[in-house]
Amino acid sequence: MRIADLLESRVAIISASLGLPIAWPNIVFDPPDAPYARVYVLPAQTVGQDIEGLMRTYQGILQVNIITPAGSGVSQARGLAQSVADAFPEGLPLVDGNLTVYINGPPQVRQPIQDRPTSSPNGSTGSITYTTPVSMQYRADY
């Protein structure tokens, strides 16, 4: 949990500086008719680094989806996505006591998609959005 807390704290600071509301996992959120972000910390396989099992590497992906209303163009979405990516440069250390989480690869602004996140099961209702994913790899040796 400390790893997720460090990553999410950084996202909160960056999003606040951009005026970007955040839809946190499992928290009620009423999407605005304006840009906002959805945040996911996606842990991968934990790897043992020594034969005694005392040293482990925790790794995964921090994904921040920039969501804008469909039909509003791509410039704002691209700009916000790039601002988030720039705030997580490769090698960035996030420190909490004896734990350091590193961004261990260049952030990737992925191909945007249009989706319908609030649609009914048959896809007949809901507002269409334009989502630009930003992915950052993280690693913590602990």
The proportion of the chain whose per-residue pLDDT surpasses 70, expressed as a percent, equals 92
Q: What is the pLDDT of residues 13-32, one digit of tens each?
A: 999 999 999 999 999 999 99
Q: Which of 110, 118, 26, 98 is nearest to 61 (CA)?
A: 110
What CATH code is carried by the domain that includes residue 59? 3.30.2000.20
Of the chain, the percentage scoring pLDDT greater than 90 comes to 76
Domain limits for position 85: 2-141
The answer to whether the pTM exceeds 0.85 is yes
| Domain count within the chain | 1
Torsion of CA 88, 92, 94, 100, to 10 degrees: 140
| Contact in structure between 91 and 116 (CB atoms under 8 Å) | no
Which residues are registered as beta bridge partners of 96? 99
Length of the chain counted residue by residue: 142
Enter the DSSP assignment of 57: E
Taking only the tens place, the pLDDT of each residue in 98-124 is 999 999 999 999 999 987 655 555 555
CA distance 66 to 113: 11
